[in-house]
Amino acid sequence: MEKKEIFTYDAGFQAYGMGWSQRPNDQRVAIGSMIEEYSNKVHVVKLEEEKNELVQQLEFRHPYPTTKIMWSPDVSAGAKDVIATTGDYLRIWDLHDDTADRRVTLSNNKNSEFCAPLTAFDWNVVDKNMIGTASIDTTCTIWDVNEQKPTTQLIAHDKEVYDMAFAKSNKDLFASVGADGSVRLFDLRRLQHSTIVYESSDLVPLLRIAWNTEDPNYLATIMMDSPTVTVLDIRVPSIPVAELNGHKGAVNSIAWAPHSACHIASASDDGKALIWDLSSIPKPVEGRWTVSLSPFPLFLLAFCASARPHTNTYTYSP
């Protein structure tokens, strides 16, 4: 049988949250639905090598759409298959061969029946017991997964927080973005202060933040309704080091390559996903500078979502 390089899976619903298993050579991905009602679902899909296609391993119900899905970064021998999801709350799920059990639903609002929806979260890869969530109530909350309780909650922005990301080499650093148009850097050891490393023009809301997996100096973010990806160097605040202009629609998702410091992918309303090569960006020595990149000939791979007009999310396999 001829080995395929592109696989398609039709979930039967508009997909939004998506996350790859972090285990080496484990070709499984969790996909969350975007259905405008309470009852939603998550599919766990795997590559069936004998059939040379993606097949559904299991399905479980999820209250409201998942705003993000991540697998546990703990891939040690004997570690369970665990995923986390956000929506109205943070939920931890234990996966089995064909079922999923909800381990816990985590809420930091015990005194009310109402909750502030969670827009995103990140799982700390250095301290695998730590998850951070972002909320429309302007806060970020740091959770202890084993103890199933929050360790820190802080007002991170002046308006809604739309995303947060831990540094990949330092368990205490995280960055966040929000409706106030700023990128803010926090250190869990010194939460009395935060650093604003970037503010968008006219304070247009920033929707997503991604931390370079190989070089901790670089972040990427996207603005609301913008076709541009902005790349930042935290050593040179305020001014982007690169602006990636190649999409014809608003960018919805960004992801750095897991094993390369100079490759980043973006997905857009134009139905395309582009992979960018940033190796041509000069290294900063002194002062500030900006490089604006177009995708030709810099993108290495692109694909269109033919079944539906928009590409909502993009994620790399580890």
Q: What are the tens digits of pLDDT across the range 239-259?
A: 999 999 989 999 999 999 988
In angstroms, what CA-CA distances link 239 with 20, 80, 186, 292? Answer: 32, 43, 19, 12
Average pLDDT over residues 226-244: 93
DSSP 3-state assignment of 48? strand
Q: How far apart are the C-alpha atoms of 143 and 132, rounded to whole Å? A: 6
More confident residue, 200 or 260: 200
The dihedral region occupied by 247, where left means phi > 0, alpha psi between -120 and 50, and beta the remainder, is: beta
Question: Looking at residue 304, what is its pLDDT?
Answer: 37
- pLDDT, residue 259, reads 87
Q: How many CB atoms lie within 10 A of CB 297?
A: 7
Torsion of CA 41, 47, 48, 53, to 10 degrees: 90
Closest CA to 227 of 252, 206, 208: 252
Residue 1 or residue 148, greater confidence: 148
Residue 297 has pLDDT above 70, yes or no: no
Average pLDDT, the chain: 87
Cα separation of 24 and 272, whole Å? Answer: 27
What beta strand segments (E) does 139-277 contain? 139-144, 149-155, 161-166, 173-178, 182-187, 195-199, 206-211, 218-223, 228-233, 242-245, 251-256, 263-268, 272-277
Q: What percent of the chain has pLDDT over 90?
A: 68
Question: Could you tell me how far CA 246 lies from the centroid of its own chain?
Answer: 21
pLDDT value for 50: 83
| 131 neighbors 175 (Cβ within 8 angstroms) | no
pLDDT at 172: 97
Token reading at 176? 């966040």
What is the per-residue pLDDT across 154-183, written as a single tens digit (0 to 9) for each? 999 999 999 999 999 999 999 999 999 999
| Rounded average pLDDT over 80-100 | 96
**pLDDT score recorded for residue 282:** 63
Structure tokens at 154: 């802080």
What's the pLDDT score for residue 108?
Answer: 76
